[in-house]
Amino acid sequence: MKKLLITGSSLLFALWLYLPEILAQSGQPLFPQMPGVQAYTFRFSFEKGVEATLDTIRDLGFTEIECGVSPYGFTTEEFKKMLDDRGIKAPSVGAGYEDIVKNPEDIARKAKIMGASYVMVAWIPHEGDEFTLDDAKRAVKDFNRVGKVLKENGLTFCYHNHGYEFRPYKNGTLFDYIAENTNPEYVSFEMDILWTVHPGQDPVALLNKYGNRWKLMHLKDLRKGVKGDFSGGTPIENDVVLGTGQIDIPAVLKAAKKAGIQHYFIEDESPWYSQQVPKSVAYLKGLKE
């Protein structure tokens, strides 16, 4: 009897000691879905062969891509067929600032051919590293006009932050100025989490602050020890496997889910994307609530 009591006590102690780890391993997946991929990740591969690169993207398990409306010299219709042949959809497409400002109707037409629901712009033209209030004001005016045209075509316009718009302005930043002065009916956002952390912002706080105005997200991580700035640029070697850099990915994903992010795209700008992307996917699959 005495021996049984000791064994029982030891078992209880072991359960108490390892219970947090047991619960963590048996928890629900934090990110159960397969993310999409940003085409820019594979830009070096696309230069060597478009169809072969799309085959690789398909073989990695991706069924969603974010790409341009007429990429790699193909017509919109030609590229859409390549995606269809591989079971890949493009829920979001990118357009250049000048192109969409000049002819939003044409961008809308191509986006609809691609089967997209969202059109994103990832850069606001400005001189050097100095993004100014005047640049932000111009973007607000252009985004409201363009966003209205896209909405009339059944599409949602999203601006993708890139770091420079987080320069201080009054009690916030120039990004706050853009968000507060654009019409929520016409202008939404895509959060690039690296280009949120690089200029010193907290992606969780921004997701909570602007809620469902965030529709899309670029999943990427910034190498530990890298000190950012407002340039909107960093060496491509600073893109690292998700979960190995500075960003608290689980916290971001929880806030993103709460905000209602519709589509997630891995973007890895590093030279080692072919090795890093599968590791990032595995990391996401292994996360538990």
Listed residue (163, 143, 158, 148) closest to 230, CA to CA: 163
Reply yes or no on whether the pLDDT at 101 is more than 80. yes
Q: Can you tell me the mean pLDDT for 1-6? A: 40
For residue range 107-158, list pLDDT tens digits in order.
999 999 999 999 999 999 999 889 999 999 999 999 999 999 999 999 999 9
Amino acid of residue 133:
L
Per-residue model confidence (pLDDT) at position 26: 61
* 267 contacts 57 by C-beta, under 8 angstroms: no
Q: Can you tell me the mean pLDDT for 182-209? A: 98
Q: Is 4 helix (H, G, I), strand (E, B) or coil?
A: helix
Q: Can you tell me the mean pLDDT for 189-195? A: 98
Q: Can you tell me the mean pLDDT for 83-104? A: 98
* 64 contacts 88 by C-beta, under 8 angstroms: yes
Cα–Cα–Cα angle for 235, 261, 32, rounded to 5 degrees: 90
Strands 172-173 and 168-169: antiparallel
Per-residue model confidence (pLDDT) at position 10: 45
* 216 contacts 267 by C-beta, under 8 angstroms: no
For residue range 161-186, list pLDDT tens digits in order.
999 999 999 999 999 999 999 999 99
- Torsion angle in degrees (nearest 10) through CA of 265, 255, 158, 166: -110
* Backbone phi and psi for residue 8, each to the nearest 5 degrees, phi listed first: -60, -45
Q: Tokens representing 89? A: 């959809």
Chain mean pLDDT for the chain: 93
Reply yes or no on whether the pLDDT at 286 is more than 80. yes
Per-residue model confidence (pLDDT) at position 129: 81
Give the DSSP letter string of 51-73: HHHHHHHHHTT--EEEEESSGGG
Q: How far apart are CA 236 and CA 271, in angstroms?
A: 7
Q: What is the CATH number of domain 42-284?
A: 3.20.20.150
Q: How far apart are CA 162 and CA 35, in angstroms?
A: 21
Name the residue with higher pLDDT: 148 or 21.
148
Reply yes or no on whether the pLDDT at 14 is more than 50. no
For residue range 24-81, list pLDDT tens digits in order.
556 899 999 999 999 999 999 999 999 999 999 999 999 999 999 989 999 999 999 9
Where residue 230 falls among pLDDT bands split at 50, 70, 90?
A: very high
Per-residue model confidence (pLDDT) at position 25: 55
Strand locations in the chain (E)? 36-38, 64-68, 89-94, 118-121, 156-160, 168-169, 172-173, 187-192, 214-219, 221-222, 239-240, 263-266
